[in-house]
């Protein structure tokens, strides 16, 4: 049966604050735990006015402390920004605090623009082997196998679940070669979804960590009690995405009626393409769209996400999504 999880960008809404965004994250995680979500992931972004998850491991600790059972982790840590030893120590600490509940999704993008990336003090020269080697080094610290000549404390022996993230076929092939679970960012970069899923499954090699492929796909959900209300809620993320594409990232704005139509045909087509892996509507429509996406991808797990301006409306959307997933399971 298809599992369902939640990706939270920890949005800072217009008129809100970082403190409120972090409080909302903890509250949303408690809500998701009660709805049967398997895991709660936070993504590393830097220099973004509307995202409060830059100190990702700190936010993970905050969310994990507020919950009891749900797995909590990074979706993901952008490994080029960090020395693998530092990540081993951070996530080894998290595993010591919250045993058996910590996930570590790894991506190879900087999670920022080049100016911010330089401020992170990491070398950005192109090296095709850097990311795979960094992943192997990180695995070595957790395995405590002595290959690096350094023992990570904390980190050695930690039971952290490592995932490879991606929005292209590169990550799919790496995850397959290493025998790791793979999460595809179809919620904002859907073009290579089907190809990446096929490559991952075809080339997967069993490992000590995973005996068969585990494929996760990102999916946006904007659920409400009516289709019209859901369409309105979705305009906040649409505005934020257009602002990001224009090089002017902003705090998450309130919804605006008719926003998509105001962009004209070209702008509307861009949003439709980028956000094609989405369900926007009332409970019946959300359930249909989720079921179709599962049939299309055969995903073992969906990573559901949405940026909704009103916190109560966001919680309601999660409830609708969870009910849809439970209906799919029942039908299966």
pLDDT in tens, 179-196: 999 999 999 999 999 999
CB 27 within 8 A of CB 311: yes
pLDDT tens, position by position, 28-71: 999 999 999 999 999 999 989 999 999 999 999 999 999 999 99
Helices 193-203 and 169-178 sit at what angle, rounded to 10 degrees? 20
What is the token pair recorded at 116? 């911010």
Q: In angstroms, what CA-CA distances link 57 with 23, 111, 118?
A: 16, 15, 21
Measured between its terminal Cα atoms, the distance across the chain in Å is 7
Which residues are CB-neighbours of 19 under 8 A, at least 6 positions away? Answer: none
Give this prediction's pTM.
0.95
Q: How far is CA 249 from the centre of its chain?
A: 19
Q: Which domains, and CATH codes, for the chain?
A: 3-331 (3.20.20.30)
The confidence score (pLDDT) of residue 243 equals: 93
What is the token pair recorded at 276? 């094609």
CB 216 within 8 A of CB 183: yes
* Spatial CA neighbour of 324 closest among 38, 4, 6, 69: 4
Confidence of residue 112 (pLDDT cuts 50, 70, 90): low
What is the token pair recorded at 144? 């405590």
Helix then strand count (H, E) for the chain reads 12, 9
The H-or-E segment that residue 104 falls in is strand 102-107
CB 277 within 8 A of CB 187: yes
pLDDT tens, position by position, 14-28: 999 999 999 999 999
The confidence score (pLDDT) of residue 122 equals: 63
């Amino acid at each position: 049966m298809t599992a369902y999880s939640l990706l939270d960008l920890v949005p800072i809404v217009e008129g809100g604050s970082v403190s409120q965004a972090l409080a909302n994250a903890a509250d949303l995680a408690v809500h998701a735990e009660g709805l049967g979500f398997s895991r709660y992931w936070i993504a590393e972004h830097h220099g973004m006015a509307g995202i409060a998850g830059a100190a990702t491991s700190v936010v993970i600790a905050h969310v994990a402390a507020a919950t009891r059972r749900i797995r909590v982790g990074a979706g993901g840590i952008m490994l080029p920004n960090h020395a693998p030893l530092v990540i081993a120590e951070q996530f080894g600490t998290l595993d010591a605090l919250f045993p058996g509940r910590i996930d570590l999704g790894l991506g190879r993008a900087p999670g920022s623009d080049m100016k911010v990336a330089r401020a992170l003090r990491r070398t950005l020269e192109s090296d095709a082997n850097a990311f795979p080697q960094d992943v192997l080094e990180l695995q070595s610290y957790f395995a405590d196998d002595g290959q690096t000549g350094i023992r990570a404390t904390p980190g050695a022996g930690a039971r952290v679940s490592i995932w490879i993230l991606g929005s292209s076929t590169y990550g799919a092939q790496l995850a397959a070669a290493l025998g790791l679970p793979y999460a595809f960012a179809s919620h904002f970069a859907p073009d290579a979804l089907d190809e990446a899923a096929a490559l991952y499954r075809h080339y997967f090699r069993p490992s000590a960590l995973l005996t068969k492929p585990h494929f996760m796909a990102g999916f946006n959900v904007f659920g409400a009690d009516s289709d019209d209300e859901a369409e309105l809620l979705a305009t906040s993320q649409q505005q934020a995405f257009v602002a990001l594409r224009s090089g002017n990232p902003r705090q998450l704005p309130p919804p605006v009626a008719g926003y998509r139509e105001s962009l004209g045909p070209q702008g509307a087509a861009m949003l439709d393409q980028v956000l094609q892996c989405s369900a926007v509507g009332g409970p019946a429509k959300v359930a249909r769209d989720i079921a179709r996406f599962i049939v299309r991808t055969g995903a073992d797990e969906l990573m559901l996400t949405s940026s909704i301006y009103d916190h109560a409306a966001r919680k309601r959307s999660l409830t609708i999504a969870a009910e849809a997933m439970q209906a799919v399971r029942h039908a299966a």
